[in-house]
Amino acid sequence: MILKNLSIDCVIFGFKDNKLNVLLWQAEPELLQKYLISKEEYQQLKEIFEKNPALKSDKYWGLIGTHLPVEEDLDVYAKKILEVATGLKGIYLKQFRTFGDAGRIPHMRVLTVAYYALINPEYHNLELSPIAKAVRWFDIDQLPEVIFDVKEIILKALKTLREEVKYHPVGFHMLPDKFTLTELQTLYEVILDKKLDTRNFRKKIQNMGLLVDTGEKQTNVAHRAAKLYSFDLEIYHQLREEGLNFSI
């Protein structure tokens, strides 16, 4: 059985073409049934879709998520949704708010527990997880038409991410394992939506002790090849726990 008045949704952020992107989908109960829910749950879900034509439309996009089966833990299930939808494990995921205004969804009373996730778009192939009619990345500044209050949820996620990123070094999750300092800086500039001073940025980042020089360099670039860094997982976890004044 699924809880009809409760959904879990993920705002999945990715850093792509030097822009902050969000992964949205057009869900389809038939496909969800394959991976995430049981047969009876599928029947219930279908009813919900019947009630809201917007859910079935080709025009509107929604957050990746679904209703919560009674026997599932909230956080565990959110992780499961993400894994199924992206094919990736160990994604950075954070519950950031529950949306519950009475009128937010027509004809139904649904609360949405919202999470945001940070991933690197290069690391997964959307073709490989055909769990929806359509799945696509959208530039955060050029969102398509979305269902219900999804836009509000995305904006709140963004706001929360901006706060988070100021004090905790979470940005790394959106980069490949090996990255250049310029990529890292661009990421921060995009998230915070402001220019940062290159020299000061590098000094600060390097003083954190989080970066590991891999000894490798970029290849095939028409300019001086940048060093590739990875980051020290152990120190990362330590810094995350302690809170730290990261303060970019």
Partner DNA sequence: ACAAAAGTGTTGAACATACACCCATGT
Partner DNA sequence: ACATGGGTGTATGTTCAACACTTTTGT
Q: Which of residues 157-176 bind a copy of itself (CB under 8 A)?
A: 163, 166-167
6 binds a copy of itself per the rule CB under 8 A? yes
Binding mask 108-137 for a copy of itself (x = CB under 8 A): -x-x-x------------------------
Enumerate the H helices of the chain as residue ranges.
Answer: 29-35, 39-51, 53-56, 74-86, 150-167, 181-192, 198-207, 233-242
The whole-angstrom separation of Cα 240 and Cα 246 is 10
Angle CA(39)–CA(40)–CA(41) in degrees, nearest 5?
90
* Residue from 97, 156, 204, 240 binding a copy of itself (CB under 8 A): 97
**Minimal CA–CA distance to 97: which of 142, 156, 144?**
156
Q: What is the CA radius of gyration of the chain?
A: 19
Residue number with CB closer to DNA (18 or 38): 18
Residue number with CB closer to a copy of itself (123 or 167): 167
Pairing verdict, β 2-16 and 111-119: parallel
By a kind-dependent CB cut-off of 5 to 8 A, residue 100 interacts, out of a copy of itself, DNA, none, with a copy of itself
Closest distance to DNA from the beta carbon of 122 (Å): 17
Report the SS3 class of residue 224: coil
Q: Which of residues 52-71 bind a copy of itself (CB under 8 A)?
A: 68, 70-71
Q: Which residues bind DNA (CB under 7 A)?
A: 180-182, 197-200, 202-204, 207, 217, 219-227, 247
User: With CB under 8 A, what is the number of residues at the site for a copy of itself?
Assistant: 26
